[in-house]
Amino acid sequence: MYSTQLSLTSPQSPVNGFAGRADLYSRLLQLEDLAALHALRDEVLGALPNPDCYVREADEAVFYRQHLSPQGATIGVFHHHQLVAYAMLGLPSAEMPHPLADALGLSGQERAELSSLSSCMVRPDWRGLGLQRALLGARLALADGFGRRLCVGMVSLHNHSSRHNMLRLGMYIAWAGQLDGLQRQITLIDLRRHPHVAADDERLIDSNDLDAQRQALTDGYIGIGEWRLPRQVRLRFQRRLPGQLLA
């Protein structure tokens, strides 16, 4: 289901091709790539379309190391040896504090099977080519390979591209509210089974209307899609049918 195109080879022998482009290649980043990663992040964070889309982590050095093997993985996409995009997968231990798992009320067993889509950035010149989507597919495949059937993500209400890609690859909005003072949605996927919903019981909610999204989630709906209009995105919440474990 998920396109990976991820080279797990060493930096010396990358496999060409990523997201349908023969001039790109991908590999897992290592300690020696952190300077290039930091430079890419500085460029992207200095020119965000909306500052709410991504808030820099308080301690980036710790954050980077938490997403290198064995605690996680960071996939880099390169063009002529220049880093043009990256995406991180976290592999937290069940005992680690995890605000998203807390918000979702995950059990100890579910936390042991959890991975997190921690961060993804694409340099401005390389946007709109499907790199984020391919990196999401690669991370879901990687999570599955690590035996983490649950994958969680967090998105700003203003980040339509990220939410679109998550919904397109089968994730759903499982929670909405304030996290560290920011309005956020939490997206989730269980790679072993998809939630059952009542397709004829739907609420269309403005992507900025946090209160209505919270109410829908409280009422047993989950966000499974979107309706894109010229100046508005409406989110499709459908009622979840009973009989499954997760929120």
**Interface positions with ligand COA (CB under 6 A):** 44, 48, 53-54, 120-122, 127-133, 155, 159-162, 164-165, 168, 226, 228, 233
For the bound state, the minimum distance from the C-beta of residue 230 to ligand COA, rounded and expressed in Å, comes to 10
Nearer to ligand COA, 114 or 121 (CB): 121
Nearer to ligand COA, 117 or 150 (CB): 117
For the bound state, the minimum distance from the C-beta of residue 126 to ligand COA, rounded and expressed in Å, comes to 7
Nearer to ligand COA, 150 or 186 (CB): 186
Nearer to ligand COA, 24 or 217 (CB): 24
Nearer to ligand COA, 48 or 246 (CB): 48
For the bound state, the minimum distance from the C-beta of residue 242 to ligand COA, rounded and expressed in Å, comes to 30
Residues 6 or more apart from 145 whose CB is under 8 A from it? none
Helix 131-145 and helix 160-168, axial crossing angle in degrees, nearest 10: 50
For the bound state, the minimum distance from the C-beta of residue 120 to ligand COA, rounded and expressed in Å, comes to 5
> Residue 5 region, left (φ>0) first, then alpha (ψ -120 to 50), else beta?
left
Written as one string, the DSSP assignment of 182-224 is EEEEEEEEETT-PPPEEEEEEEEEETT-HHHHHHHHHTTEEEE
Q: Which residues pair with 122 in a beta bridge?
A: 85
CA neighbor of 116 nearest in space, from 72, 55, 172:
72
For the bound state, the minimum distance from the C-beta of residue 232 to ligand COA, rounded and expressed in Å, comes to 9
**Is the peptide bond prior to 70 cis by the omega test (within 30 degrees of 0)?**
yes
